[in-house]
Amino acid sequence: MTNKVTLTQFIIEQQREFPGTSGSFTALLNDIATACKKISHYVNRGELIGVLGSAESENVQGEVQKKLDIITNDIMVSALNWTGRLAGMASEEIDEMIKIPGHYPKGKYLVAFDPLDGSSNIDVNLAVGTIFSILRSREGIDADLQDFLRKGEEQVCAGFVLYGPSTMMVLTTGHGVNAFTLDQDIGEFILTHRDMRIPEETAEFAINMTNQRFWEPPVQRYIAECLQGTEGPLGKNYNMRWIASLVAEVYRILTRGGIFMYPLDCRNPEKPAKLRLMYEANPMAFIIEQAGGVCTTGRERILDIKPTDIHQRVPLILGSKHEVERIVRYHQEN
């Protein structure tokens, strides 16, 4: 118990392998961790402090906001805008990029975040989380929109914090995936899962079946084969999961394998995809690939997509290598 490795210690030890690095990145991750500890407190307290329910407003996506959507966004912005480590921010809840106030110094990083992923679950006490992505920027000057519109493969760090029975941070800096559990007694994230790897095979899928009639043929084919079980071409029985919380779905895949799909559909021609590239797909793709999985739209690798807008949406299929590659093959055949 005396040899616990904290998040700060872990990041510092990783940085020592790269001479010339400064402490700015470690400090930024500590800032994010501090914000997420505060969010964890609000999520855990819930109705006791009156933070559940609708805020009776909509975000830039046209989605009804929960009170905690607004509270968690404010927590993230307030924790990061004054530190001197960022040149700009972008939030799923805010239409435009977030500029650093003029009286604060500008740093060399950018952060894009979804402050409360899965917020539709909050009122029924299911898992929610925070997702973040870090990019390098031009140090000492204000970032502009083009600084954010870069391929996901340029991320220097991606992570998410899961607020469940325990609060956990899953993190990659491009050298594998590690998970840290918040020790409430000492207020520190402690390394508990080192070098997480996704099994290449799976017998578990997660998808919203109510949208089945709107899917493209390759996804229809794959799900139909899963449902045929041992009598079908895949030769095994599958279990279906659906939590409607990306952080919870990805954590399950990291720990026991599986596949998650929010594919392209034809419900609304103006919004053929659901999830946001910069705040959800890119950081999760970085994590999934670092853990040995695959992340795609069905047609192209997520991390190869050049964004055209900070709120761009994309189809998302991720998880165990062989299963995702099967769906990619079905798209190619189609």
Binding-site sequence positions for Mg(2+): 92, 114, 116-117, 280
**Which among 110, 108, 126 is positioned nearest to 118, based on CA atoms?**
126
- Chain position carrying tokens 């990291």: 254
Dist. CA 193–CA 251, nearest whole Å: 12
Long-range contacts of 103-107 (CB under 8 A, 24+ apart): 105/140, 106/139, 106/140, 106/141, 106/142, 107/24, 107/28, 107/83, 107/137, 107/139
User: Residues at the annotated binding site for substrate?
Assistant: 117-120, 208, 274
Dist. CA 180–CA 190, nearest whole Å: 5
User: Residues at the annotated binding site?
Assistant: 92, 114, 116-120, 208, 274, 280
Dist. CA 139–CA 331, nearest whole Å: 42
Would you say 160 and 132 are in contact if contact means Cβ atoms under 8 Å apart? Answer: yes
**Which among 100, 108, 148 is positioned nearest to 22, based on CA atoms?**
108
**Which among 111, 125, 28 is positioned nearest to 68, based on CA atoms?**
125
DSSP bridge partners of 163: 128, 167
Dist. CA 137–CA 134, nearest whole Å: 10
* Residues ≥6 apart with Cβ < 8 Å to 224: 232
